[in-house]
């Protein structure tokens, strides 16, 4: 029988994830109804699509939660390479980031964020004996640069930022020398600056970040309305579904600024509750990392925890004007079927890892031989 400690770890992640999915679904309906009416004449249009992805996600999470992780580890490279092939396909179909399937669409970049973690976990487990050599980093860095290049064709900066920070987290845990991590961090900052300079609209966003009030009806409008929206909720908010800013003032309230809607309707209490739920999942990942001796599970768990944590931090930072405006989703909350689907699958895999580690811990306890005093 599992000890209460490990048993509670599994259900801590499960319950936090379920609450985030349910609460996020409520806010999808709350924030997207006005867009559904104006664009499709149906207030439940986006929520209906959300339910389809929810069903797909739960089905996928069920199977990924049951599969032997050894199979995922064995085929990690092929899983990643298959998703990488999909990444540039939108360009060939005349789309910016999405592959369309009738009324539904899929964004390959969301899948690559997930599968790159699966690949890195396997790669750095196999390369542990060579981890102190910089040349060990060349192959994953080449893939990272390839992903970055394709993402820039799609004008996607947010995905690059998330993937880069998750990459740094994994190589830190893998035991890469700090001087190498420092060099890569500096190179990443320089690359980020270069990517900003490549596109005039990104330069304008930086200028607006420092003084959004200079153009309150233009470039600074999103930022100003976001701050007004999240600030108008006060301590306990105006009530679930009672937010007003999403109806007339706050652009992309159902996507890039949904955390502001949470603040308006549920106040500081609501935004703090969402923060706590994500923190529970992320810190549970830290616990798993400390428990397991399997480097693949360690790196994979770190990547999934980093994926949830960095996505939340980036979205919240944009809403709170901590970083320049950038379109990024809040996991489980923002309208966006691909992001929602992949995050549910990542949660399913995390639960699989947790159950496996709990079972191994229980087995080790049972296998400890008893000492006879006779």
Q: How far apart are CA 226 and CA 324, in angstroms?
A: 12
Tell me the C-alpha to C-alpha distance, in Å, between residue 43 and each of 185, 299, 335: 45, 42, 14
Whether the model pTM is above 0.75: yes
> Binning pLDDT at 50, 70 and 90, where does residue 337 land?
confident
Query: 293-336: per-residue pLDDT in tens?
Result: 899 999 999 999 999 999 999 999 999 999 988 878 999 999 88
State the alpha helices, DSSP H only, in the chain. Answer: 4-40, 45-66, 69-74, 76-86, 89-92, 108-126, 138-153, 157-174, 178-198, 200-210, 221-231, 245-248, 258-291, 295-319, 337-367
Residue 311 pLDDT:
95
Query: 128-140: per-residue pLDDT in tens?
Result: 999 999 999 999 9
Query: 89-105: per-residue pLDDT in tens?
Result: 988 876 778 888 777 78
Which phi and psi angles does 61 have, rounded to 5°?
-65, -35
Q: Which DSSP letter does residue 135 get?
A: G
Per-chain mean pLDDT for the chain = 89
């Amino acid at each position: 029988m599992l000890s209460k400690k490990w048993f509670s770890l599994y259900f801590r992640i499960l319950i936090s994830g379920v609450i985030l999915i349910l609460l996020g679904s409520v806010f999808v309906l709350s924030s997207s109804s006005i867009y559904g009416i104006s664009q499709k004449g149906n207030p439940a249009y986006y929520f209906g699509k959300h339910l389809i992805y929810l069903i797909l996600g739960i089905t996928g999470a069920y199977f990924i939660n049951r599969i032997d992780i050894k199979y995922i580890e064995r085929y990690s490279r092929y899983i990643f390479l298959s998703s990488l092939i999909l990444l540039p396909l939108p360009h060939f179909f005349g789309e910016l980031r999405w592959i369309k399937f009738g009324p539904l669409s899929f964004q390959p970049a969301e899948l690559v964020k997930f599968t790159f973690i699966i690949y890195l976990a396997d790669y750095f487990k196999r390369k542990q004996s060579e981890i102190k050599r910089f040349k060990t980093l060349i192959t994953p860095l080449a893939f990272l640069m390839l992903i970055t290049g394709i993402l820039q064709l799609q004008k996607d900066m947010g995905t690059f930022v998330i993937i880069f920070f998750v990459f740094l987290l994994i190589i830190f845990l893998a035991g890469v020398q700090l001087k190498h991590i420092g060099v890569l961090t500096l190179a990443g900052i320089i690359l980020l600056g270069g990517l900003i300079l490549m596109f005039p609209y990104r330069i304008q966003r930086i200028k607006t970040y420092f003084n959004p009030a200079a153009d309150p009806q233009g470039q600074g409008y999103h930022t100003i309305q976001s701050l007004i929206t999240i600030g108008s909720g006060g301590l306990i908010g105006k009530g679930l579904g009672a937010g007003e800013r999403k109806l007339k003032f706050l652009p992309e309230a159902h996507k890039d600024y949904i955390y502001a809607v949470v603040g308006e309707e549920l106040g500081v209490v609501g935004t703090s509750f969402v923060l706590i739920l994500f923190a529970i999942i992320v810190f549970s990942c830290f616990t798993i990392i400390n428990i397991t001796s399997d480097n693949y599970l360690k790196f994979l768990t770190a990547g999934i925890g980093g994926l949830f944590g960095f996505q939340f931090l980036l979205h919240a930072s944009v809403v709170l004007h901590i970083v320049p405006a950038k379109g990024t989703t809040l996991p489980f909350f923002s309208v966006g079927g691909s992001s929602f689907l992949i995050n549910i699958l990542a949660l399913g895999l995390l639960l699989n890892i947790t159950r496996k580690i709990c079972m191994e811990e229980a087995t080790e306890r049972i296998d400890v031989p008893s000492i006879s005093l006779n």
